[in-house]
Amino acid sequence: MTLRDAAAAVRENAYAPYSGFKVGAALRTPGGQVFTGCNVENVAYPEGTCAEAGAIAAMIAAGETLIAEAYVIADSPEPVPPCGGCRQKLAEFAGLDVVVTLANLVGVEKVMTLGQLLPGAFGKGHMDPA
Ligand code: THU
What is the per-residue pLDDT across 53-96, written as a single tens digit (0 to 9) for each? 999 999 999 999 999 999 999 999 999 999 999 999 999 999 99
- pTM over cut 0.95: yes
Q: What's 41's domain CATH number?
A: 3.40.140.10
Output the ligand 1 site: residues, CB below 6 A: 16, 19, 21, 23, 39, 41, 48, 50-52, 82-83, 86
User: Residue 27's closest CA among 68, 65, 64, 63?
Assistant: 68
Active site residue 12: no
Q: How far is CA 77 from CA 34, 42, 91, in A?
A: 26, 25, 26
Rounded Cα gap, residues 7 and 41, in angstroms? 18
Q: Which atom of ligand 1 is nearest to the CA of 48?
A: 12
Please state, rounded to an integer, the average pLDDT across all residues of the chain.
Answer: 97
Structure letter (DSSP) for residue 68: S
Q: What pLDDT band is residue 27 in, cutting at 50, 70 and 90?
A: very high
**The domain containing residue 42 runs over which residues?**
3-127
For the chain, the domain total comes to 1
**Atom 14 (ligand 1): residue with closest C-alpha?**
21
pLDDT in the model for residue 97: 97
